[in-house]
Amino acid sequence: MEKEYKTEEEFLKNYDSSKFEKLSATTDILIFSVASSKQDNYRKLNNKHFSVLLVKRKQHPFKDMWCLPGGFIGIDETSEDAAKRVLARETNLHNIYLEQLYTFDEVNRDPRMRIISISYVALVDKNRLDDTLYEDASWFNMEIEEDEKNIKINLDNGEENFDVVIKKTLKELTTDRYKYTIEKNTRIAFDHAKTIASGISRIKNKLEYTDIAFNLMPEYFTLGELQQVYEVILGKKLLDPAFRRIIASKVEQTEMTRVNGGHRPSKLFKYKGNK
């Protein structure tokens, strides 16, 4: 006890509190999902969209603009715990895929005071959600167009529709890591447009070499549905046989089929787990 105190004291002596003021930390969460919208043609499958949950700000700064759900990190909780807390508040769900994305800490990212943001990505199956949303939250469908220089995201929640453009600049030195700068943005608060772009990029990458896609799926699904999820996230059509080859080892066929309109019914599959 004596020693504890002594080292603490020693530490604080060396800790220049005028220079190294403490700072506030929040967690901001990208809650991603895939939404389905009915098609006009009875034969056709539902249209799918990669979507993100945003919250309308009720206060200054950035009043009436959209931001990511988030919250302050308590002195006795980890950022992951804080993220789970926010996630439960927004979705009423526990046990959701969650991974740390990046820590955004530009000095003036919040005009009020120094607040760093430890951001997380969550993936949820929309079927698990009830329709009631917390406060002023809203799901935005995203259309993503990405090239070498820019990521353009069109966001649409049925009432509002706007574009965000994030410029990717290669950082100095040999690396593939991009630095994101907001090129066009009128409706997203803080630096959250960057967070969204980073999160999309992370999920797109991981889609190709991990099984995260299954977090967006219900227990039973058709391979067509699964393929659609890959397609809307990657932003490109995939060839059926190739997709089936790749996915085959990860799924398990069931006896059930889904009858879905004027075409051949499809078998239902479920996730097999990693090998």
Among 264, 273, 274, 275, binds DNA (CB under 7 A): 264
Q: Is the backbone peptide bond immediately before 265 cis, with ω within 30 degrees of 0? A: no
Q: Does 222 bind DNA (CB under 7 A)?
A: yes
Q: Tokens 């190739």 — which residue?
A: 242
Q: Does 2 bind a second copy (CB under 8 A)?
A: no
Phi, psi of 206 (to 5 degrees): -65, -25
- Closest among 178, 129, 127, 120 to 149, alpha carbons compared: 178
x/- mask, a second copy, residues 184-213, rule CB under 8 A, reads ----------------------x--xxxx-
Give residues with Cβ within 8 angstroms of 83, minimum separation 6. 27, 29, 98, 120, 122
Stretch of 22-30, 51-59, 204-212, 238-246 lying at the interface with DNA (CB under 7 A): 238-246
* From the list a second copy, DNA, none, partner contacted by residue 143 (C-beta under 5 to 8 A by kind): none
Element containing residue 201 per DSSP (H, E): helix 192-209
CB 25 within 8 A of CB 115: yes
Among 41, 132, 174, 186, binds a second copy (CB under 8 A): 174
* From the list a second copy, DNA, none, partner contacted by residue 142 (C-beta under 5 to 8 A by kind): none
Sign, CA dihedral 95-247-254-218, equals positive
x/- mask, a second copy, residues 47-86, rule CB under 8 A, reads ------------xxx----------xxxxxxxx-------
Q: Does 41 bind a second copy (CB under 8 A)?
A: no
* From the list DNA, a second copy, none, partner contacted by residue 260 (C-beta under 5 to 8 A by kind): DNA
